[in-house]
Amino acid sequence: MAKGGRGTIAVQSRLRMFLSLDIVGSTEFKQAKRGAEPAEDADSWVEPFLSFYQIAVQQMAAQWAAVREAIAAVGRGDRDGRFELGDGPTFWKGVGDEVLFTKIVRSPVDAAAALHALLGLMREQRRQFAAKPQWQRLNVKGAAWLAGFPINNAEVILPAKDGRPAANALDDPVAENYRLVALRDSAPAKGTAFHADYIGPSIDLGFRLRELADPRRLVVSADLAWLLCHAHRGCDARERAACAYLAMPEVGYEGRTRLRGILGGDPYPLMWVESDPANPLNNAEDRLLRRPPGKARAARQAGALWAFCNAFLTGESPLHMRPYIPGCRVAGLGEMSPDHRLRLAAIQAVVNGRAEQFASLARSDREAGAIPPAAQAFARDILSGMIPGPRGRRRKR
């Protein structure tokens, strides 16, 4: 029973995808002199940015609808969950000249579909900038990454109205946060009453990766690249031929690079998806460097990319985790590991003040040999007080 007798607070596991779209050249554009232009012809620097925000949100929905329809036509009658698609990416927040979206991932193809929706949005935004001579110096870049919740990352919920706690709020901030998450999930129509933010190692990684993006390179995290490979490998040649969104996107690899504050200084793989395949300068550069055409390169590298991602995603840290998709019917993706199951149970126990019940569960699983050593250590931390329990107090040893 949760504190205050309000019933058990459900703590659900979910995989989220984050997508970033950012304007390139915005600082120079804002500071350019326009005083010599006639007043009636002068193009306000504000206009393209207002247009960017409006088009980004509207076009993301339109691009998702088109991608979803094309994939659904191929996957009609799907019985093994390969073509399961969830809701499209929704607006998370704006940061300066950047728009961020997020969505809950239901399958590998669902993640690939969201990436293609972002690529379509980038094409449309470039078309909008190219339509006016004054805006042609502007461009866009993108990034996409994954984050699992509530293991390793946390979703922070605040009432959207004024941020003040409700009259029936729990006095433990952790339990209250999960209560609001559960309340929002149980009543989607009331979702606008809450504002969500996201924190954790995967979010930090995503914001570091997006700094490395450019108009050609849509940077993706290693776990997302692994999921794209999974989507490609799960479709046969007929399905890929019937829908371009099921083909493996062209993924480039720039080696491993150190990212500030990430992995303790150990290098992280820099991977990117081609986002401007029609660019003549990029194509001329590829020919000069004797790179094969994009589609040939994607097909040739798919196997090597899959092998590399499997070697990198060892599970030894939060940023080395292979994606887990709750409820996914694709083999190997919807099966919660013993470590994941224990950690989720620990959070559920702490949120609901049921440490004693969790202790019994942990002991029985440990005696049965079902819990790996790292998970056993996590359980000991929960029970011994190294991790704060309800109301922020440490438990007695």
Give the pLDDT of residue 391.
39
Domain boundaries, the chain: 9-153+200-312, 338-392
Q: What is the overall mean pLDDT for the chain? A: 82
pLDDT in tens, 241-258: 999 999 888 888 999 999
Asked which of 164-173, 267-276, 292-301, 383-392 is least confident by mean pLDDT, the reply is 383-392
Judging by beta carbons within 10 Å of its beta carbon (0-12, 13-18, 19+), is residue 60 exposed, middle or buried? buried
For range 141-158, the mean pLDDT: 94
| H-only helix segments in 15-86 | 26-31, 46-75
Give the pLDDT of residue 293.
58
Banded model confidence at residue 41, pLDDT cuts 50, 70, 90: very low
Tell whether the model's pLDDT for residue 392 goes beyond 60.
no
Q: Which residues contact 43 (CB under 8 A, 6 or more apart)?
A: 34, 37, 132, 134, 135
The yes or no reply on domain 9-153+200-312 and CATH 2.60.40.60 is no
For range 42-67, the mean pLDDT: 84
pLDDT in tens, 204-221: 999 999 999 999 999 999
Tell whether the model's pLDDT for residue 390 goes beyond 70.
no
Of 153, 292, 148, 298, nearest to 228 (Cα)? 298
Banded model confidence at residue 47, pLDDT cuts 50, 70, 90: confident
Q: Which residues contact 202 (CB under 8 A, 6 or more apart)?
A: 145, 146, 147, 148, 152, 153, 221, 318, 319
The percentage of residues in the chain with a pLDDT greater than 90, rounded to a whole number, is 44
Tell whether the model's pLDDT for residue 288 goes beyond 90.
no
pLDDT in tens, 4-23: 345 688 899 999 999 999 99
Q: Check if the beta carbon of residue 110 is closer than 8 Å to that of residue 84.
A: yes
Asked which of 24-28, 67-71, 285-289 is least confident by mean pLDDT, the reply is 24-28
Give the pLDDT of residue 336.
85
Quote the DSSP letter at residue 330: S
Q: What is the CA radius of gyration of the chain?
A: 23
Of 159, 148, 158, nearest to 317 (Cα)? 148
CA 157/CA 162 separation, integer angstroms: 12
Give the pLDDT of residue 357.
53
